[in-house]
């Protein structure tokens, strides 16, 4: 990691941490703020990256946050931002849970824009670990851009083409290579690496793995471009072909036959969720 990449990483992490309008996280933050009270809770931020969301949880609630990521460069930046802002109720760790399984129990486990980066064959054992690590009344919150999303390719900002993932590889890959950028990552060090690492996740592909892990869907929100229109603000629009306008899926998962916490336990479920 070069000095310039390190500085870019700090800027990116601080934006995700401090900016409630950060482009790919503002809907996540709004939903979490409206529906969760994390006060006094033990939180796992799985795939915490450069720490933006972990630090946001830690500074918005009096809670204990544990951020884990497989990328050492990301964790280095997360720790630097933590130190810079003197935040003491969060810890970061380089950890591959397939090599070093989780042993603690958490009230909430968050996966913000992580699931689509995990190879499909290992997503199942990871979800099983998360199911085993969430408390009986806890929840697992998963957000990701479904593969039909206009932004699911993670490279539309350099190609200039939404839904470019549906272009033939013979056209798309040279476009990415011409605009390839270094990333602040040890595991995925270029934009092309990031694109190749996507698992083309959809709700239909994810749900069987959720069920195998002993989890079930508590709530689902499909955020769509059309939600920007006032009358459709809280509407889940999933029918074909409008499902191609879904920008992000939000799933709240619970253990099978889990007890409900209600507001007093820290979970509020707003009608808009």
Q: Pairing relation of β-strands 90-94 and 64-69?
A: parallel
Say yes or no to pLDDT of 272 above 90: no
Domain membership of residue 189 as a residue range: 153-197
The string of DSSP codes covering 188-246 is --BHHHHHHT-----HHHHHHHHHHTTEEEEEEEEEEGGGGSGGGTT----STTGGGGE
47 vs 67: CA distance, rounded Å: 7
pLDDT of residue 230: 85
Q: How confident is the model at residue 3 (pLDDT cuts 50, 70, 90)?
A: confident
| Percent over 70 (pLDDT), the chain | 94
The overall average pLDDT reported for the chain is 92
Same domain, 49 and 106: yes
When pLDDT is averaged across residues 188-215 and rounded to a whole number, the result is 95
Q: How confident is the model at residue 270 (pLDDT cuts 50, 70, 90)?
A: very low
When pLDDT is averaged across residues 20-49 and rounded to a whole number, the result is 93
* pLDDT tens by residue, 212-253: 999 999 999 999 999 989 899 889 999 999 999 999 999 999
Residue 168 CB neighbour total at 10 angstroms: 7
Position 165 in a domain: yes
109 vs 74: CA distance, rounded Å: 19
pLDDT of residue 260: 53
pLDDT of residue 98: 94
When pLDDT is averaged across residues 129-153 and rounded to a whole number, the result is 96
Q: How confident is the model at residue 266 (pLDDT cuts 50, 70, 90)?
A: low
Same domain, 14 and 143: yes
pLDDT of residue 262: 46
The string of DSSP codes covering the chain is --HHHHHHHHHHHHHHHH-TT-TTTHHHHHHHHHHB--TT-EEEEET-TTSHHHHHHHHHSS-EEEEEES-HHHHHHHHHHHHHTT--SEEEEE--TTTS---S-EEEEEEES-GGGS-HHHHHHHHHHHHHHEEEEEEEEEEE--TTSTTTTS-HHHH--TTGGGS-HHHHHHHHHHT--B-S-SS--BHHHHHHT-----HHHHHHHHHHTTEEEEEEEEEEGGGGSGGGTT----STTGGGGEEEEEEEEEETTPPP-HHHHTB---TT-
User: Cα Rg for the chain, rounded, in angstroms?
Assistant: 18
Q: How confident is the model at residue 273 (pLDDT cuts 50, 70, 90)?
A: very low
pLDDT of residue 258: 62
Same domain, 142 and 157: no
pLDDT of residue 259: 56
pLDDT of residue 129: 96
Position 232 in a domain: yes
pLDDT of residue 23: 83
Position 269 in a domain: no
Q: Which of 259, 256, 218, 260 is nearest to 128 (CA)?
A: 256
* pLDDT tens by residue, 150-189: 999 999 999 999 999 999 999 999 999 999 988 888 888 8
Same domain, 174 and 105: no
Same domain, 140 and 8: yes
- Count: domains in the chain: 2
Same domain, 158 and 227: no
């Amino acid at each position: 990691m070069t000095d310039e990449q390190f500085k870019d990483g700090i800027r990116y992490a601080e934006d995700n941490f401090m900016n409630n309008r950060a482009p790919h996280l503002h809907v996540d933050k709004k939903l979490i703020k409206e529906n969760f009270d994390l006060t006094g809770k033990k939180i796992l931020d799985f795939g915490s990256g450069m720490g933006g969301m972990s630090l946001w949880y830690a500074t918005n609630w009096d809670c204990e946050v544990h951020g884990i990521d497989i990328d050492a460069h990301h964790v280095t930046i997360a720790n630097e931002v933590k130190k810079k802002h003197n935040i003491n109720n969060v810890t970061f760790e380089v950890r591959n849970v397939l090599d070093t399984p989780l042993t603690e129990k958490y009230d909430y486990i968050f996966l913000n824009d992580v699931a689509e980066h995990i190879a499909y064959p290992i997503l199942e054992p990871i979800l099983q670990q998360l199911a085993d690590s969430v408390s009986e009344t806890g929840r697992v919150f998963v957000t990701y851009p479904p593969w039909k999303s206009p932004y699911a390719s993670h490279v539309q900002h350099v190609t200039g083409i939404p839904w470019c993932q549906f272009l033939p590889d013979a056209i798309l890959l040279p476009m990415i290579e011409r605009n390839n950028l270094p990333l602040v990552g040890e595991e995925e060090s270029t934009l092309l690496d990031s694109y190749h690492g996507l698992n083309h996740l959809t709700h239909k592909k994810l749900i069987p793995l959720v069920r195998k892990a002993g989890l079930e869907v508590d709530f689902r929100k499909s955020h769509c471009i059309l939600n920007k229109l006032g009358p459709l603000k809280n509407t889940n629009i999933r029918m074909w072909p409008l499902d191609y306008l879904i920008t992000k899926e939000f799933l709240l998962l619970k253990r099978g036959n889990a007890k409900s916490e209600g507001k007093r336990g820290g979970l509020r479920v707003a009608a808009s969720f």
